[in-house]
Amino acid sequence: MRHLILVDAAIGLVENPAPVKSGGVVAGLFGIRPLRTALIATVGTQPLFSEFWLRKFVARKEVVTPSRTAIYREPFVLDGFTASLGDWAVQFAGESGKSLSERPEGFRKLPIPLTLVWGQEDTITPLPQAQVLQRLAAGSRLLVLPGVGHIPQIEDPALFNARMTEILQHP
């Protein structure tokens, strides 16, 4: 690998992690796979909520069209998808400093160039998270895409593709 490009990366980086506390009743219930799967099926992979959730990830709401929403729904019919999505959510939420991507020293020691591509309006992984990564990884660069949120490749495909082409041509 010669160059790492992160696009609005949800990596869970914590500069000064707080002590991990027990998750309480909700975390306990979410730890029971059948209950978790039922909850995910009710609100996460329920087709009636697809448009709602997709709109939460973008700044340009007009890109959430019926055809695009249909594409995001396609995996919902795969056997085991909902349970697997719940398993991923538990793992992602419960990392608490265990993943290398959550530790600042990993970015300080990154042996290859890093380019961060970030939507200026990203509310899922806000721009300050990209700025922290840029400070940690010496020599990294940050390209901010104006007017887009967490999924810039669908919010402004022309701008996103142009920036990616530039990065790949001139790493």
Whether residue 78 lies inside any domain: the answer is: yes
Residue 151's domain comprises 4-13+100-169
Reading the block at residue 163, the tokens are: 């920036």
The answer to whether residues 5 and 167 touch, using CB atoms and an 8 Å cutoff, is: yes
Same structural domain, 118 and 161: yes
pLDDT at 65: 96
Whether residue 19 lies inside any domain: the answer is: no
Tell me which of 93, 114, 144 is where a domain ends.
93
Whether residue 62 lies inside any domain: the answer is: yes
| CATH code, domain carrying 137 | 3.40.50.1820
**Count of the separate structural domains present in the chain:** 2
The whole-angstrom separation of Cα 109 and Cα 107 is 5
Whether residue 18 lies inside any domain: the answer is: no
Give the pLDDT of the chain (171 residues) as one tens digit per residue: 689 999 999 887 766 655 555 566 666 777 889 999 999 999 999 999 999 999 999 999 999 999 999 999 999 999 999 999 999 888 877 766 667 777 888 899 999 999 999 999 999 999 999 999 999 999 999 999 999 999 999 999 999 999 999 999 987
Cα 126 vs. chain centroid, distance in angstroms?
10
Same structural domain, 29 and 53: yes
Same structural domain, 60 and 110: no
The whole-angstrom separation of Cα 29 and Cα 93 is 14
Same structural domain, 89 and 107: no
Whether residue 128 lies inside any domain: the answer is: yes
